[in-house]
Amino acid sequence: MSSVLPSHPSTTTELDSVAALSAMLDTVTTEPRPDDQLEALALAVAADLPVLLWGEPGIGKTAALTQLADSLNLPLTTVIASVHEPSDFSGLPVLGEDPATHGVPMAPPDWAVRLVQAGRGLLFLDELSTAPPAVQAALLRLVLERRIGALQLPPGVRIVAAANPPSSAADGWELSPPLANRFVHLHWTHDHDVVVRGLGGTWPRATLPRLDVEKFSEAVAFGRRAVCHLLDARPTLVHQLPGSQTRRGGAWPSPRSWDMTVRLIAFATAASSSTDVLSLLVRGSVGDGPGFELLAALERMDLPDPETLLADPAAAALPERGDLRQAVLDAVVAAVRRRPERSRWDAAWTLLVTAVQTGPPDLVVVPATTLATLRQDDWEVPTGIDQLADVVSVSVAADRAAEQAAAQNIR
């Protein structure tokens, strides 16, 4: 004969108190707060590009994904890649009634079926760097073709992965180059102020940046023009497989990653994102070196055309920033060198005089020296050049003094 032990009211009350205290600790609020990392992540997710978050354990990668999924109203499906077999992503063979006629279908896992049934969602592949090479190979088709076995993920599903750096990953592997080149790599770091305020109960809210429909055509054209101009000038950047295995597991330039870059520039432009956000996205798709070159080229795309300046030097408006102003002046002199004509030579001197009058005079030293060498015998010296003579002579004297000092030090 069995007996049921009576519950102890004191124990039940104590458990209720524990639950109430835990619920209070779990209750937090969110606030709109500028966050370049979250904005870059949200834009890449909006562009439907697979994202890989790199960061040390415990800094909030999973929490950021959970909060982003809540903000976008997307069901979150988390799959720990390191504890799965290759067949979990390629599908398990299931024999039918007539394999010789119908073949052997590959059955997808239950979480993939739920995603298809929902029609939308955020698939989070965690601990990617601890997945063995065989599992990484099986993930290629999932990330690129969005297929799991015989199942096609719907367009409403976004893919985000997370990984720890090899130095902190337990029994980790470097990512294979084919898999790494399919992701936008974002290096996740913690912000001290955000953590402190979040532990106080208020975390930043991840929201999808608002896209301006009126900018769509301009944004697409801008992204394509920026990448094509860079690759025309630097053809070796089209495909550069890094030499070291570690760098091959990160972002590096290929036709695939440049195509992702075009999409990211277009989305960032349509969202009027900051330069810092665009930098995270561009470097995360093609790597730091090519990314910085592209960012520098983007800045120069907004510079005035040298031919326009030479056509009407009196109305020229030169950039305020020193490096951009230097680039404009160098471009003007280069344009005169390509087509040396008296009127163009005179116009270039007018621009250099304007530069001296409106900005740091040392920026005109090199362009003025180069422009002077382009003078032909029958060209008279412009009257305005007198304003540049002192600048150039002072610079030359300073250079000579530096050379003499260096020679004395050598002795």
Each residue of 151-201: pLDDT tens digit?
A: 899 999 999 999 988 766 556 688 889 999 999 999 998 888 888 988 898
Contact, 35 vs 206, CB < 8 A? yes
Task: Provide the β-strand partners of residue 79.
Answer: 125
pLDDT by residue (tens digit) across 119-152?
Answer: 999 999 998 888 888 888 888 889 988 988 878 9
Beta strands in 118-242 (DSSP E): 120-126, 147-148, 151-152, 156-163, 184-187, 202-204
Structure tokens at 91: 């599908």
Q: Which of 165, 181, 175, 205 is nearest to 59 (CA)?
A: 165
Q: φ and ψ at 116, to 5 degrees?
A: -65, -40
Contact, 89 vs 139, CB < 8 A? yes
pLDDT by residue (tens digit) across 4-51?
Answer: 555 555 556 788 788 889 999 888 888 887 888 989 999 999 999 999
pLDDT by residue (tens digit) across 325-383?
Answer: 888 898 899 889 989 999 999 999 889 888 888 888 888 888 888 888 888 888 887 77
Strands 120-126, 76-80: pairing is: parallel
Per-residue pLDDT, 396: 42
Q: Where are the domains of the chain?
A: 33-93+106-204, 213-301, 306-410
Which residues neighbour 359 within 8 Å (Cβ) at sequence distance 6 or greater? Answer: 318, 320, 322, 325
pLDDT by residue (tens digit) across 183-193?
Answer: 999 999 888 88
- Other C-beta atoms within 10 Å of 146: how many? 17
Over pLDDT 90: what percentage of the chain?
35
Contact, 228 vs 268, CB < 8 A? no
Which 8-state DSSP code applies to residue 131?
S
Rounded Cα–Cα distance for residues 243 and 24 (Å): 52
Which residues neighbour 164 within 8 Å (Cβ) at sequence distance 6 or greater? Answer: 54, 55, 56, 57, 127, 129, 130, 172
Looking at every residue in the chain, the average pLDDT score rounds to 84
CATH classification for the domain delimited by 33-93+106-204, as one of 3.40.50.2300, 3.30.310.10, 3.40.50.300, 3.50.50.60: 3.40.50.300
